[in-house]
Amino acid sequence: MFPISAALLDAMVLALVSREETYGYKITQDIQTAAHVSESTLYPVLRRLQKNGALETFDRAYLGRNRRYYRITEEGRSMLMQYRIDWALHKTQVDSVLLDAASIERREDQ
Amino acid sequence: MTTQDFLAELDAYLYGLSPEERESAVNYYREYLEEAGGDADAVMHSLGSPEAVAQRILAELGTRSAYAGSASQAAAASVQAAAYTTPTTKKPRVGLLILLTVLLFPFWITALALWFGFEAALAGTVIGLAGTAVVAGLESIGYLFDVGLAGETIWYTGISLFALGLTLLLWKPFGLAIKYTTKWTFKGFGKIIRAILGKERA
């Protein structure tokens, strides 16, 4: 219902990768539990974050084939921190209108 | 459509990107379909056509011209462009190349001369040794008929065999050295020219 912006998707991917070293298929599955994004959305996002230096990759053998894992970098962590601050701010502003009618009345009183 | 067909088509639709980018994308989706295991067909279906998957990649990583196709993609592109710096295609800077070629003449001609000198030294050594082997060999045969198995004959035979040994020892490593230094030199010049022209290697 609410579209996920490019920035929000970046933030969510960074958050997932910061929790554990993980791989493309799993990241897609995990994002899809929270947001309706198509399966082909994630690769370009991962690749760009990797090119920006927010993520790095390494390969690990799994069941006789290769699995490319993503790991967050220091730069990625500081990006994530900034995204979390921005999101908290954004969420508070939306909530103040959407959920808390009293805050609107208070604003009108001032 | 098999997964192999899917990946091959995806690769074909990514022709605007560098080989490295194409490989990265195709490897990602190969791995992705492998992860899906028995559900690979269903996952392939939900991914959409290889063309659609490629369009998403081109919109995000490719050049502007790559996704000038549809209105929705253009809209997505403008959103992306606002949030991120998107690589743009530039006109090749031919003028700059000509200017630098003229101005930097002393530098690149020196580099070229160094390269030529190096190759010539290597080639010259091997050719010289081979020549010595042949001439000294003929000389020793001549002395054999002239004076029999005397000191001169043995002397020239020794020189000939020594030169022949060195030739056989050196022609292969020297040949390889010539091959690779030539390759590197021309690759290096190619890279510099591409960099000056500002050709995008996204």
- The DSSP code sequence of B116-180 is HHHHHHHHHHHHHHHHHHHHHHHHHHHHHHHHSS-HHHHHHHHHHHHHHHHHHHHHHHHHHHHHH
Q: Pick the residue with more confidence: B188 or A70?
A: A70
Query: What is the residue extent of each domain of chain A?
Result: 6-78
State ipTM.
Answer: 0.85
Q: How confident is the model at residue A18 (pLDDT cuts 50, 70, 90)?
A: very high
Q: Which CATH number fits domain A6-78: 2.60.120.260, 1.20.1600.10, 1.10.10.10, 3.40.50.300?
A: 1.10.10.10
Residues in Cβ contact with B152 at an 8 Å cutoff, skipping those fewer than 6 apart: B140, B143
Contact residues on chain B for A5, CB-CB shorter than 8 A: 79
Residue A84 CA to residue B123 CA, distance in Å, equals: 65
Among the listed residues A59, A57, A92, the one whose alpha carbon sits nearest the alpha carbon of residue A76? A57
Residues in Cβ contact with A34 at an 8 Å cutoff, skipping those fewer than 6 apart: A12
Residues of B with a Cβ under 8 Å from any A Cβ are 21, 24-25, 27-29, 31-32, 34-36, 43, 46-48, 52-53, 56-57, 59-61, 79-80, 83-84
Query: What is the residue extent of each domain of chain B?
Result: 3-83, 94-197
- Strand ordering across the sheet containing A65-72: A22-23, A65-72, A55-62
| Long-range contact set of residues B116-119: C-beta below 8 Å, sequence gap at least 24 | B118/B181, B119/B178, B119/B181, B119/B182
Residue B11 CA to residue B36 CA, distance in Å, equals: 20
Three-state DSSP class for residue B17? coil
A68 touches B at CB < 8 Å = yes
Contact residues on chain B for A46, CB-CB shorter than 8 A: 28
Average pLDDT over residues B106-125: 92
Contact residues on chain A for B83, CB-CB shorter than 8 A: 6-7
Q: What is the pLDDT of residues A36-60, one digit of tens each?
A: 888 899 999 999 999 999 999 999 9
Query: Least CB-CB distance to B80: which of A6, A47, A66?
Result: A6
Query: Least CB-CB distance to A47: which of B24, B35, B84?
Result: B24
| Main-chain dihedrals φ then ψ at residue B93, nearest 5 degrees | -90, 75
What count of CB pairs under 8 Å joins A to B? 60
Q: What is the pLDDT of residues B39-70, one digit of tens each?
A: 888 898 889 899 999 998 998 876 544 333 44
Residue A1 CA to residue B34 CA, distance in Å, equals: 31
DSSP A55: E
Q: Does the pLDDT at position A26 exceed 70?
A: yes
Q: What is the pLDDT of residues B131-157, one digit of tens each?
A: 999 999 998 898 888 888 888 888 899
Q: Does the pLDDT at position A77 exceed 90?
A: yes
Residue A35 · residue A12 · CB < 8 Å = yes
Residue B140 CA to residue B136 CA, distance in Å, equals: 6
Q: What's the distance, CA A61 to chain centroid?
A: 26
DSSP B90: -
